[in-house]
Amino acid sequence: MADHQSETRAAYDGVVELYASKFANGLEDQPFGRAMIGTFAELVRATGNPRAADVGCGPGHLTAMLHELGLDASGFDLSPGMVDHARRAHPALRFQEARMESLPVGDGALGGVLAHYSVIHTPPGELPALLAELVRVLAPGGLLLLSFFGTEGPAPVRFDHKVTPAYSWPVDRLADLLADAGLVPFARLLHDPASERGFLDAHLLARHP
């Protein structure tokens, strides 16, 4: 496991209850993010394959949302503390400790993958390999919804996230990385930040051809 992954796992293990309490209301105060997840779930259902993975699921609040939206959703997270909390909070759902770069999922098994601000801690040079893994588990026609902090500059920007260092991305550049990984980006939503960091909140929807 890379050093940054060990640091990220330890950092999130140390804030499980605080982090979970912050998102206890799901996305009630984030209408844009909620709308994109609803659209994602509708499109995944339309593929006929409702199996979906919430990668970097944290305390499991969005895994539960996907379940409520009609998907057969499982959650995966690097942090054992987060996985334990998710299992206790949502005992009817499946959660497993796993790295996003090596998911315990068969090739082409999923109709959808949700990565909601979960790739932000991955150094830019390692992101293509992570995206390739998300593509591996998607069935043809499957959907990826990637949410992240967007920047208007020409390059990713490293910043001090409240939990552990993270990166914001130019939206066009991240869309290009999705295309390089073999996906077809077809929708995006950018809006003013919901936090004091000042970055845009960005969402990209892409389809496996």
The structural domains of the chain, ordered by start, are 3-13+33-207 (3.40.50.150)
Give residue 197's pLDDT.
64
150 forms beta bridges with: 169, 200
Q: What's the rounded mean pLDDT across residues 14-28? A: 83
Q: What angle do CA 147, 106, 130 make, to 5 degrees?
A: 35
The residue among 188, 180, 124 whose CA lies nearest residue 156 is 124
Q: What's the rounded mean pLDDT across residues 74-103? A: 97
Question: Is the predicted pLDDT of residue 129 greater than 70, yes or no?
Answer: yes
In this structure, the number of other CB atoms found within 10 A of the CB of residue 17 comes to 11
Task: Report residue 162 as tokens.
Answer: 């409240």
Question: Is the predicted pLDDT of residue 24 greater than 80, yes or no?
Answer: no
- Residue identified by tokens 């991240």 is 174
Q: What pTM did the predictor assign?
A: 0.95
Give residue 163's pLDDT.
79
Question: Is the predicted pLDDT of residue 138 greater than 70, yes or no?
Answer: yes
**Confidence tier at 114 by pLDDT (50, 70, 90):** very high
Q: What's the rounded mean pLDDT across residues 139-158? A: 94
Question: Is the predicted pLDDT of residue 20 greater than 70, yes or no?
Answer: yes
**Would you say 51 and 113 are in contact if contact means Cβ atoms under 8 Å apart?**
no
User: Amino acid letter at 177?
Assistant: L
Give residue 92's pLDDT.
97
The residue among 113, 131, 118 whose CA lies nearest residue 176 is 131
Q: What's the rounded mean pLDDT across residues 147-160? A: 91
Per the model's pLDDT, the better-predicted residue between 192 and 110 turns out to be 110
DSSP-derived letter for residue 25 is T
Per the model's pLDDT, the better-predicted residue between 183 and 20 turns out to be 183
**Confidence tier at 11 by pLDDT (50, 70, 90):** confident
Rounded to whole angstroms, the Cα distance separating 47 from 141 reads 7
Question: Is the predicted pLDDT of residue 203 greater than 90, yes or no?
Answer: yes
Rounded to whole angstroms, the Cα distance separating 49 from 29 reads 30
Mean model confidence pLDDT for the chain: 93
Per the model's pLDDT, the better-predicted residue between 184 and 28 turns out to be 184
User: Amino acid letter at 176?
Assistant: D
Give φ, ψ of 189 to 5 degrees. Answer: -140, 125
Tens-digit pLDDT profile for residues 44-67 = 999 999 999 999 999 999 999 999
Q: What's the rounded mean pLDDT across residues 129-146? A: 98
Q: How many residues does the chain have?
A: 209
- Residue identified by tokens 């930040």 is 193
Strands (E), 51-183: 51-55, 72-77, 94-97, 110-116, 138-151, 157-159, 166-170
